[in-house]
């Protein structure tokens, strides 16, 4: 990616690690200023210092737990006031806890639902309010390939929350709000802290930088929906959507 200037400001939640951290680096390389938030401010501030020094971009940071809807609204509007405008919001914060339903671990599933969907809804509310006021903006919801069908066991709730994000995006697009672009990104297997426990030889797993490069490319094109990386996830996505559930079960 070649360094450019004057692109505007991108707000990224969950930016202290994994996909959010790497998106921050890559958007900075493209010439964006950054509004970054996460629960872990030590890592967030270290990332901000790195980007300021290596990319020469403006970076503002703040602590944020996306399950606190009042805090989400406050932080987003404070960022908008600091920068003047927010050009893009990437709803990225998420967790991967989960257990088979009915096995006595409901707290893991509830935590995932609260962070991945209720928290994302709060972020979308705050972002779209800002974009309505500006008459322009780009809302990006980071979903998952698991959103395409119901998943089993510990993935059931996680997949349902990511399907909810895709539905939220489609509903907003159908509203045709002036100046608003909405993208939903469905990453495949991209190495991150969330899946650090996965085996190194997991089929189709790509490193964080490669996977995020595909995500950023789709976001820059303002794609309404993108399966990334394109290979092999576009054909896999088509197959998952049409195959009988008994076959999908064997694949996941």
157-173 pLDDT, tens per residue? 999 999 999 999 999 99
Q: Is the whole model's pTM more than 0.85, yes or no?
A: yes
Residue 158 appears among annotated catalytic residues: yes
CATH entry, 8-251, from 3.40.718.10, 3.40.920.10, 3.40.50.460, 3.40.50.720: 3.40.50.720
Residue 10 φ then ψ, to 5°: -115, 130
32, 158, 189, 227: the catalytic one is 158
Question: Using one digit for the tens of pLDDT, what is the confidence trace for 9-20?
Answer: 999 999 999 999
The pLDDT, as a whole number, for residue 135 is: 96
Please say if the pLDDT value at position 91 is more than 90: yes
Crossing angle of the two packed helices 18-29 and 208-220, in degrees rounded to 10: 60
What sign results for the dihedral spanned by CA atoms 192, 193, 195, 199? positive
């Amino acid at each position: 990616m070649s360094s450019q200037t004057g692109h505007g400001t991108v707000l990224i939640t969950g930016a202290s690690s994994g996909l959010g951290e790497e998106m921050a680096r890559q958007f900075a390389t493209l010439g964006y200023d950054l509004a970054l938030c996460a629960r872990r401010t030590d890592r967030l501030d270290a990332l901000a210092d790195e980007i300021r020094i290596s990319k020469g971009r403006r970076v503002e940071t703040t602590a944020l737990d996306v399950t606190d809807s009042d805090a989400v609204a406050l932080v987003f509007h404070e960022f908008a006031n600091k920068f003047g405008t927010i050009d893009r919001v990437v709803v990225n914060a998420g967790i991967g806890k989960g257990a088979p339903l009915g096995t006595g671990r409901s707290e893991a599933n509830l935590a995932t639902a609260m962070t991945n969907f209720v928290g994302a809804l709060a972020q979308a509310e705050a972002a779209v309010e800002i974009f309505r006021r500006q008459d322009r903006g780009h809302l990006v919801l980071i979903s998952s390939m698991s959103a395409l069908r119901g998943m089993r066991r510990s993935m059931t709730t996680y997949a349902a929350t990511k399907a909810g994000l895709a539905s939220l995006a489609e509903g907003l697009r159908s509203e045709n709000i002036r100046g608003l672009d909405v993208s939903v990104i469905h990453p495949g297997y991209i190495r991150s802290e969330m899946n650090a426990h996965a085996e190194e030889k997991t089929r189709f797993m790509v490193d964080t930088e490669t996977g995020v490069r595909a995500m950023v490319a789709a976001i820059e094109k303002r794609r309404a929906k993108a399966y990334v990386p394109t290979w092999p996830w576009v054909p896999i996505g088509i197959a998952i959507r049409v195959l009988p559930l008994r076959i999908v079960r064997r694949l996941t």
